[in-house]
Structure 1
Amino acid sequence: MEIDTSSVEEHENSKSQFVRWFREVAPYVHAFRGKTFVVAFGGELIQDGVLNTLVQDLSLLSALGIRLVLVYGSGPQINEQLRLKGLPQNFNNGIVIPTNTAALECAKEAAGEIRLDIEASFSQGLPNTPMSHSQIKVISGNFITASPVGVLNGIDFQLTGKVRKIDTEAIKFAIEKGTSVVLLSPIGFSPTGDAFHLEMEELATSTAIAIGAEKLIFLSSSEGVKNADGSINPEIARAKAETLLQDNNIDTTTTKFLKNSVMAVKKGVARTHILPYGIDGSVLLEIFTHGGIGTMVVEDNLDDLREASIDDVGAIISLIEPLESDGTLVPRPKSLIERDLEKFTVLEHDGVIYGCAALYPFPIEKMAELACLIVHPEWQSSGEGELLLRHIESRAKKMKIDRLFALTTRTSHWFLKRGFVRGSVKDLPKEKQINYNRSRNSLIFIKNMK
């Protein structure tokens, strides 16, 4: 009788993939624990039936120690209320429009209905779901003081308002223990007790700036900012985003989010994101993967190529250890890495070290060794290894190095494609010849730097 081992193998692969994923997201968990995210979405997300899935993902973020402030819009729901009352429907795409008394009453009804839907979603406790044992409390109230937009370009915006003041202390107090989320509706109140309809995007942006949020996340029906070839631009520096807005080649919905993203970053929010809510788990994919799923706006690009510091030792060891275990690299004790730290360069993205390389000079022979060139498996094949190599070569040239060499047992083709040629032990510096480990029989590759 033959035994089908395919299901067993698939099960084992599944377990190993889970372990690998869990280890890969750990740096992000450490980086964002205790940080505050403002997550904003329009009524379209609720209309499209995505609310429960989103709340489950937000519940997971809360369980990981991320503090959450949620801001919601209600355009489609206001339009439905207006339709039922036989009134004109004109709330769409986040465009600021005049709000009369009848429309404000519809806005209040829509906001209240959505607030209850959100509270109900956070009250789920079904077993075998992310909401099991979550016990997250939703806190909402009069956190926002509003004032009327007034008359602009001859148009009286009536009961359409703008954010005047945010009770930051109350919001921070509500979320500081991490077991509650603050929910902000698109209705603000003046000191005289009057209510005003607020623009969701402006409310979310003003809140993120006021409370010093780490991230402002917009969930949109659009996929993000697209490049000329139709692909999504995963990361845009603020100055570049401003140029794109001036060119006016972006659809209306994305333009609205991008303008507010630029404003938030300009005023101190570290990162803003425009994500497609139509993709399942888009928030998790954006936060816990290197490439993300939408568009992120930052003051400057987050990829940082720099010299290693003492704080990077643990990250370097975690990159090296798997390759030491499988025999690709010679084991290096922590003390050796600490001693040679000034020889290391690291690649950092969003606070996570995902690549490194070291340069060991041999001044007498005007040679240097390229060692420990490593890129985390999740981020390989994206040019990061090439980036590290160019940086090491630049450092070597500044040190007046004539030839760069590398020893490898498994990546010979990579070096050959980048201008290295095969060498022999006798081509190495004398000190390296003496220390060459003949039992490993590493291949030697040399590149002329002149």
Structure 2
Amino acid sequence: MLDDQSQFVQWLRSVAPYIHAHRGKTFVVAIAGELIAAGRLNTLVQDVALLAAMGVRIVLIHGFRPQIEAQLREKGVGSRYSHGMRVTDSVALDAAQEAAGQLRFEIEATFSQGLPNTPMAGAAVRVVSGNFITARPVGVIDGLDFQHTGLVRKIDAQTIQRALEYGAVVLMSPFGFSPTGEAFNLSMEDVASSVAVAVKAHKLVLVTEVEGVIGEDQHLLPELTVAQAEALLARLPDPQQPTDTAFYLRHAVKACRGGVGRAHIIPFALDGSLLLELFTHDGVGTMIADENLEHLRVATADDVGGILRLIEPLETEGVLVKRSRTEIERDIANYTVLEHDGVIFGCAALYPYPNDKTGEMAALTVAPSAQGQGDGERILKRIEQQARAAGLQSIFVLTTRTMHWFIKRGFVPVERDWLPEARRLRYDDQRRSRVLVKYLN
């Protein structure tokens, strides 16, 4: 029982940085119609409701490709696709309108659930829909008339923002209307990327039937910069079906180039993939951003809270010496932080003793969710670089539980008398920390 309680506490602490980072942000979540056809709408809505409860502003956009296909089969009519888009004749337009109406009703009903002892108990999520999209026809491409297939011309971002400020989830179908009232069938991806840009969303999340972007080695690519994604798209054939990974990737890049902070392509087949992507270090799909998402940098005053959240569990366990907020604020220039997608996952501080040509590395910490990936070693190397740049010949650490980790990385044990006098006078006899030194080449 105690082990279960401890694991729960550690898990909750590990997701706390994400909760802080996501609160008040706007996420555009687009769900493929295949998700609904597979019977996964209920759990997806529960996860979206949880995000809303955490203070995330949600625009939810549904697709309806398999639902349209079902309607057309009942009518004995086939489907036509080209350039990744459906050719929407009058019959397909009727099928799309009918499918959209049914899906919107089903999604709103799912958000209205509130049975006791279920994840939706007490949720009270309000859903707002509307004619937020002005569309234009695709027209004729390579001699093919796409008829009632359209593209987004304009998004009513102001009205959407007002609904989000009210606390509602904004639900949108991939339908748009021209100024003359003509209806157009749009792609979910075009709507999602256009809305994300228009409302200046922090994230666009595409919940799809693909697991993410697969590299040339047939392995999932967990992270891509926009430049890397564009280079990959240049090598891929043009998508002919809207379910092609390249089609999703193209719209993810469009969103990022339009100012959206992050775009994610994740699988609906994995239960909880939305939460796993947003609240774990590595996620479960592919994330696209305009820059490298993980980087080491010198800490600033804005990082004090993140550093405290990171080191407090280890201070409680006695692994680290307790440091107050005042101490960290005072010494913030000594800290290096490892940041990933706006969340601090690691830190360390270097306290130089110039007269003794050495420096103390303190508070080396990596979040439990990110351990085992070499981040601690990366932080160590950065501290070593800083020490060399400052003209120091060695760095030392005082540790009670992690001696072997440091020994494997070139540190050697020494007696406490080795310490600079100023540090030796502050040695805590009760902790009985071991002193280890690494001499820098």
Match of residue 129, structure 2, among 119, 128, 140: 140
Distance 2:437 2:121 in 1: 58
Match of 1:267 in 2: 258
Contact 1:346 1:356 in 2 (8 A): yes
Instruction: Label 1:317 to 1:165 Cα distance change in 2 as closer, same or farther (>3 A).
Output: closer
1:184 aligns with 2:172: yes
Distance 1:433 1:125 in 2: 61
Match of 2:28 in 1: 38
Contact 1:320 1:329 in 2 (8 A): yes
Match of 1:369 in 2: 360
Instruction: Label 1:63 to 1:90 Cα distance change in 2 as closer, same or farther (>3 A).
Output: same
Match of 2:154 in 1: 165
Superposed, which structure 2 residues align to 1:85-234 within 5 Å?
85-90=75-80, 95-178=84-167, 180-234=168-222
Contact 1:223 1:276 in 2 (8 A): yes
Deviation of 1:25 after TM superposition, in Å, equals: 2.1
Residue type at the aligned position of 2:436: F
Distance 1:326 1:76 in 2: 53
Residue type at the aligned position of 2:36: I
Match of 1:6 in 2: none
Deviation of 1:229 after TM superposition, in Å, equals: 4.7
Residue type at the aligned position of 2:165: E
Match of residue 231, structure 2, among 223, 243, 266: 243
Distance 1:13 1:195 in 2: 58
Distance 1:29 1:312 in 2: 16
Cα deviation digits, residues 185-227 of structure 1 (max 9, x gap): 1221111111111111111111110111111110111111234
Q: Which deviates the most, 114-123 or 307-316? A: 307-316
Contact 1:225 1:250 in 2 (8 A): no
Instruction: Label 1:222 to 1:413 Cα distance change in 2 as closer, same or farther (>3 A).
Output: same
Deviation of 1:91 after TM superposition, in Å, equals: 5.9
Supply the RMSD in Å over aligned alpha carbons: 1.9
Distance 1:83 1:335 in 2: 68
Contact 2:413 2:435 in 1 (8 A): yes
Tell me, what secondary structure is at the counterpart of 2:244? helix
Instruction: Label 1:323 to 1:139 Cα distance change in 2 as closer, same or farther (>3 A).
Output: closer
Deviation of 1:339 after TM superposition, in Å, equals: 2.2
Instruction: Label 1:199 to 1:442 Cα distance change in 2 as closer, same or farther (>3 A).
Output: same
Cα deviation digits, residues 36-73 of structure 1 (max 9, x gap): 11111221111111111111111111122211111111
Q: Which deviates the most, 110-119 or 440-449? A: 440-449
1:387 aligns with 2:378: yes
Instruction: Label 1:72 to 1:317 Cα distance change in 2 as closer, same or farther (>3 A).
Output: closer
Tell me, what secondary structure is at the counterpart of 1:170? helix
Distance 1:34 1:189 in 2: 31
Instruction: Label 1:229 to 1:192 Cα distance change in 2 as closer, same or farther (>3 A).
Output: same
Q: Percent identity?
A: 53
Match of residue 28, structure 1, among 18, 43, 46: 18
Contact 2:212 2:286 in 1 (8 A): yes
Instruction: Label 1:425 to 1:26 Cα distance change in 2 as closer, same or farther (>3 A).
Output: closer
Unaligned stretches of 5+ residues in structure 1:
1-10
Distance 1:134 1:330 in 2: 41
When normalised by structure 1's length, the TM-score is 0.93
- The alignment covers a number of residue pairs equal to 438
Distance 1:324 1:21 in 2: 17
Residue type at the aligned position of 1:402: Q
Deviation of 1:311 after TM superposition, in Å, equals: 2.1
Contact 2:79 2:87 in 1 (8 A): no
Unaligned stretches of 5+ residues in structure 2:
none
Deviation of 1:352 after TM superposition, in Å, equals: 1.9
1:58 aligns with 2:41: no
Cα deviation digits, residues 305-324 of structure 1 (max 9, x gap): 11122222232233333333
Instruction: Label 1:82 to 1:318 Cα distance change in 2 as closer, same or farther (>3 A).
Output: closer
Q: Which deviates the most, 286-295 or 264-273? A: 286-295
Residue type at the aligned position of 1:234: P
Residue type at the aligned position of 2:13: R
Deviation of 1:249 after TM superposition, in Å, equals: 8.0
When normalised by structure 2's length, the TM-score is 0.94
Instruction: Label 1:151 to 1:359 Cα distance change in 2 as closer, same or farther (>3 A).
Output: same
Distance 1:195 1:41 in 2: 22
Tell me, what secondary structure is at the counterpart of 2:96? helix
